[in-house]
Structure 1
Amino acid sequence: MRKYILPVVAMVSLSAPARAQKENFVSLAPGTSEQQIIQKAANIVPTARQLRWQQLELTAFFHFGINTFTGKEWGDGKEDPALFNPTALDAVQWVKTMKDAGFKQVIITAKHHDGFCLWPTKTTDHSIKSSPWKSGKGDVVKEVAAACKKLGMGFGVYLSPWDRNASVYGTDAYNEFFVKQLTELLTWYGKVDEVWFDGANGEGPNGKKQVYDFNRWYKLIRKLQPQAVIAIMGPDVRWVGTESGKGRRTEWSVVPTNNLDQDQIAAGSQQGMLFKPQSDMTGSDLGGRDRIATAKGLVWYPAETDVSIRPGWFYHADQDEKVKTPKELMQIYFTSVGMNSVLLLNVPPDKRGLINESDVRTLQQWSRMRKELFKTNLLAGAAITCNNGVNTAALLDGKDATYFTTRGGDTATTLVFKLKQPRTFNAFSIQEDIRIGQRVEQFSVYYKQDGAWKPFVQETTIGYKRLLHFDPVTANEIKIEIESSRLNPTIASAGLYFYEW
């Protein structure tokens, strides 16, 4: 649905710390050994804004605008604003639908590529103030922001850099035009928790393409909404690389950055974070040892996995019977949140201005499935043994800010869980405490049958959360082996669960 220009991260040169420090970035001086690089990578951590974002797990996208009424996915900027006229718009219904489904934050498409603005901007008449909805006095962004505040949900805005309506697109004046639009969104509606840019960069009405002044935009966001994460074409969160809802098996939040000759951007942002279109952040392993061995810098730059609940990103009536099933959404949950990512699920309001009944129904059923699945951790009450472990109780205390680790410099360990009775399970969950860093490179999980250990999970990274689904297993002894870790592993939780999908 979106045309992406993929980012590369750039860093200013910093003096190497004399000891391990908890930063979200680090530069690597020439001659830094592989062992030193691994140690530094293991000590990189998220910023406060990145940690909050990761803990959301589920964020909703509301694609809504003139395309909703034309039936298009990408408008051409020539649409008549009179077409925009929802008959029953209810932003509280949108936000409550997502909250009831377990979501913690929503993002509204304040302006898509067609340039039509869902707020009464002072920059253009191509907006809802030229529509018949509420006699031109309406403000969709305001209503969504108010609904989020009322229901205790995070609020984010998507503002398309590509504008197929603005006559100044493709000139220096457009960056000023865009800054005015961004300023309105960041100052008119209270707290903004996420600002979402894609990399679409086509031609404007004059046939020209725009050179985007991303660095100026980042500085403005840091100044006006310093707690907001800047996502996809931004320094805080990157695109996972597909719109399938499936992340990568090996997902490192710590990735290399190799351009150290750029100026530092806004204070409080990641140091010198810039973007270049030739970057490729879509490989199968972005942060493995071979990838970071030649890095000039390392940065905490986690992935967001976006997908639509429908085949399209905007509402189309002929897709009411093509909404993803609860089972499909559960699979996506395991391949997004369960692969060290945050799921951004698009749920587009219909022409009435409501989340359609088809979408509401599948969201409700999916929410019930997740609650039922994770209701009981079958490892609870198990006796845990570990020869080199510290604080094994943290694994089952239900808190992600406490963690099990190992003594001394041990980077491998074995944990044996003995249940009070045999239990049947088909899902496994494990988390690292990413406040300490992301460290585990390889782990396996076994069950004991007839005196022999048999593997049922053999995986690579963990990160914030790893979820695995498999054929049912029945056992009363489970073994987790951390086979490789960059420094002492810091495991926040482990769980076994059962649910018939």
Structure 2
Amino acid sequence: MTKPITKSFINTLQITILVLIFSSCTNNAKQGILLPTANTISLDADDSRDSVLLKAAHVIPSENQMNALKDEFIAFVHFGPNSFTKLEWGNGMEDPAVFNLKNLDTDQWCRAMKDAGMKKVIITAKHHDGFVLWQSRYTKHGVMSSPFKNGAGDILKELSLSCKKFGIKLGVYLSPADLFQIESKEGLYGNLSPYTKRTIPREVEGRPFENKATFEFEVDDYNEYFLNQLFELLTEYGPVDEVWFDGAHPKRKGGQQYKYRDWKKLITALAPNAVIFGKEGTRWCGNEAGATRDTEWNTIPYAEDPRAMNLFADITGEDVASIDKLMEGKYLHYQPAETNTSIREGWFYRNDDEQQVRNTDDVFDIYERSVGGNSIFLLNIPPNREGRFSEKDVKVLQETGKRIKETYGIDLLKNAEGPVELLDANEDTFLVLDDDKLMLEFKLPKEVKINRFVIQEDIKRHGERVSKHALDAWVNGDWKEVISSTNIGYKRILRFPEVTTNKFRLRILDYRAVPILQNVSAHYYKSRPPVLEMNRTKLGLVNIAPKMADFKWNPHGENASSNLTKGMKIVYTTNGELPTESSLEFKEPFAFANGTVKALAVINNEVGSISEHNFGLLKNKWKVVDNNSSVKEHNGDMLIDENKDTFWQSEKNRSNKQYVTLDLGEENSISAFKYTPPTTVATGMIQKGIIYSSLDGENWKAIENFEFGNLINDPTPRIHKFKNSFSTRYIKLMALEIAGENDSAAIAELDFYK
């Protein structure tokens, strides 16, 4: 019986015929192009998985997107009234006088960016509060009404000049949300004005434009206002290489809609080299923490044609563009991700005392994970109230730039034998990896030591194709796999424990279409032995690891020190002696009741500093038997859970003393105790108190008062040593005074020592 011909069969046949026709051109076949390449390719309802993968492999970046990827490491600058009010989001009704800027040094900004290796800066020309940093013709809510240079200052103009001086590209952030236009009586946002034909730019008497271009759009009042300001930015401060549209909205009004397609027409005409963030140009990575995906495809599925879309939803999931996701779409579109975060806790500057700054390890690690993970690294550096980058921030930028240059400024494959197309550092050459070329060897005249390997696909002409690969090194007369990974795209930085050899082998293990590579290089990062930290579970298992960066804002979950020290060895002692390279090696958590553990890291024959931790009594038998009260989300068990990130907090109560009572499970001799205050809140820190003991939980004896100072400014663990040791099973801690005259007590962790 003859089977009916299905739509899927017809579609597959059509794709096959198209491939045969297109690849019949000898040049196309040689270059691995089986279909016409495009920035956006439509899918058919009956496309098979294979045909979707083939189409995905022929989606390529636009010229502007390619340039954005090549910029790699770029700067964000959040500056405005929030820098003076110390808020993250203003309300739009701030008096412009709060922007009381006395000095401005945009040369210092650009110098620091240049030192870091950044190629572009994007400034918040207008944040959500509606305050503008340039001399706009269309509002008085901005620098023109501030004390800065008696209202004649222009932040954007000065930055534009500094960018030209230091060879930094300029981008502008213009918030669609505008609280000033929402809240003010004469505001244009959501004022229900009719859509009529209007000329952009609107003429303003005494302020003619040098650029005489005009545009006709059918828009309402707010869209006209927005287009007029875009015209100013793109014609009087350029060239502009990126326009950044934030999707965040503190508030909306009147059903206001944005005519993005009109905005895009204006941008395309006036800033043809500008990539547009938040729309079809580049996309948000999905977090503000500097977290990256293990697999970041930039060929993205869309339900609508992105070339005609007005609204673009955030893409936040872990799986962005696997074949299962691609099958859900109707269009495939190339759209690189920007991995954005701030060097400080928050987007705007607050102070240098409390607002923490990322360390160099953290910034360099994000750089390698983002740029080396097929995305763009956008790092915010907020200027202070003196109009400069703070010295802490500048130091981290300089150190990061030094590491990037020292590591990636030298290609250790420079004199290697291998495919010349991949070793010539020429963007116009590439290598088509037919079936007989899926394993590539690189041989050097002498052995080198490496721990970084960089691979780039020829995405400009051929799109993203490789989905799995591995790197081998010739060690002791045999090939040894040193690392494997998933996709490549614009750039993949492989990080692994250092190997010394003169031969490397790259294996392509899986791909969407014929793989086509553009460049490979090998590098060495000089790892530094990290500072170590130790912790213990409630059951008594001790873990030793590189210390996590003390940066609590939007945590990305990565241990930067650990990521940068592949191949590190940790050694330790538990007998009080100093550890040496020959001491016991830490390989897994070990049981330890109480006492001092000392440890150090060894990497590349370099020994790190000694870290030590004095562990108190084991808490596996402890119980909280009583406390005066607990707020729901911070119960008593949290003060003995061996997790300093959780804490007990009592309810507010002025009339009674705050206390907690512990049963240690058995009688112990006590010589000291440690109080760890919470670090995520500044309330409830116990600065004065008293310790009671009991053998039976009924009859109590006051042991000793204690006092801890400066807890709010320095919320670090405090140890109180008792004048005389005592034996007890039950312990009661009663707070007598709370720092800052608060009405509740809080304890992150309590420890007692023999």
TM-score by length of 2: 0.59
Pairing of 1:376-415 with structure 2 (within 5 A): 376-384=410-418, 392-407=419-434, 410=435, 413-415=438-440
Give me the CA root mean square deviation.
2.2
Larger radius of gyration: 2
1: CA distance between counterparts of 2:229 and 2:139? 9
Instruction: Give the deviation of 1:238 after TM superposition.
Output: 0.5
- 1:272 matched to which residue of 2? 308
Deviation string 1:423-453 (CA, Å, 9 cap, x unpaired) is 2222221111211211111101122333443
1: CA distance between counterparts of 2:423 and 2:328? 38
Instruction: Give the deviation of 1:294 after TM superposition.
Output: 4.0
2: CA distance between counterparts of 1:115 and 1:214? 18
Instruction: Give the deviation of 1:124 after TM superposition.
Output: 2.1
1: CA distance between counterparts of 2:241 and 2:87? 29
Three-state SS of the structure 2 residue aligned to 1:336 is: helix
- 1:267 matched to which residue of 2? none
Q: Does 1:139 align with 2:154?
A: yes
**Comparing 65-74 with 92-101, which one deviates more in the overlay?**
92-101
Q: Does 1:121 align with 2:136?
A: yes
Tell me: CA distance 1:276–1:424, structure 2 relative to 1, closer, same or farther (3 Å). closer
2: CA distance between counterparts of 1:271 and 1:495? 36
Q: Is the 8 A contact 2:128 2:249 kept in 1?
A: no
2: CA distance between counterparts of 1:121 and 1:411? 61
Which runs of 4 or more aligned residues in structure 1 lie more than 4 Å from their structure 2 counterparts after TM superposition? Answer: 15-18
2: CA distance between counterparts of 1:450 and 1:50? 44
**Comparing 332-341 with 36-45, which one deviates more in the overlay?**
36-45
Instruction: Give the deviation of 1:395 after TM superposition.
Output: 1.7
Instruction: Identify the structure with the greater strand proportion.
Output: 2
Three-state SS of the structure 1 residue aligned to 2:251 is: coil
2: CA distance between counterparts of 1:240 and 1:433? 22
Pairing of 1:72-471 with structure 2 (within 5 A): 72-166=87-181, 167-172=187-192, 173-203=221-251, 210-232=256-278, 234-260=279-305, 271-277=307-313, 281-318=315-352, 322-384=356-418, 392-407=419-434, 410=435, 413-436=438-461, 437-471=463-497
Q: Is the 8 A contact 1:65 1:118 kept in 2?
A: yes
1: CA distance between counterparts of 2:268 and 2:319? 30
Name the % identity.
Answer: 43
Instruction: Give the deviation of 1:411 after TM superposition.
Output: 8.9
User: Unaligned stretches of 5+ in structure 1?
Assistant: 1-14, 261-269, 385-391
Instruction: Give the deviation of 1:180 after TM superposition.
Output: 2.1
Deviation string 1:59-78 (CA, Å, 9 cap, x unpaired) is 11111111111111111112
Tell me: CA distance 1:75–1:294, structure 2 relative to 1, closer, same or farther (3 Å). closer
Three-state SS of the structure 1 residue aligned to 2:125 is: strand
2: CA distance between counterparts of 1:378 and 1:312? 39
Q: Read off the aligned partner of 2:176 and give its amino acid letter.
A: P
Deviation string 1:9-34 (CA, Å, 9 cap, x unpaired) is xxxxxx99774222111112332333
1: CA distance between counterparts of 2:140 and 2:382? 24
Instruction: Give the deviation of 1:100 after TM superposition.
Output: 2.6
2: CA distance between counterparts of 1:203 and 1:30? 39
Q: Is the 8 A contact 2:345 2:355 kept in 1?
A: no
- 1:40 matched to which residue of 2? 55
2: CA distance between counterparts of 1:319 and 1:180? 41
Q: Read off the aligned partner of 2:284 and give its amino acid letter.
A: W
Q: Is the 8 A contact 1:192 1:225 kept in 2?
A: yes
**Comparing 360-369 with 37-46, which one deviates more in the overlay?**
37-46
Q: Is the 8 A contact 1:170 1:203 kept in 2?
A: no
2: CA distance between counterparts of 1:426 and 1:295? 39
Instruction: Give the deviation of 1:137 after TM superposition.
Output: 0.8
1: CA distance between counterparts of 2:382 and 2:441? 46
Instruction: Give the deviation of 1:371 after TM superposition.
Output: 0.9
Q: Is the 8 A contact 1:445 1:478 kept in 2?
A: yes
Three-state SS of the structure 1 residue aligned to 2:179 is: coil
Instruction: Give the deviation of 1:345 after TM superposition.
Output: 0.9
User: Unaligned stretches of 5+ in structure 2?
Assistant: 1-13, 23-34, 182-186, 193-220, 528-754
Instruction: Give the deviation of 1:120 after TM superposition.
Output: 2.0
Three-state SS of the structure 2 residue aligned to 1:317 is: coil
Instruction: Give the deviation of 1:276 after TM superposition.
Output: 4.7
Instruction: Give the deviation of 1:412 after TM superposition.
Output: 6.8
**Comparing 423-432 with 236-245, which one deviates more in the overlay?**
423-432
Deviation string 1:264-307 (CA, Å, 9 cap, x unpaired) is xxxxxx62243254xx5222232222222343211111111111
1: CA distance between counterparts of 2:312 and 2:503? 50
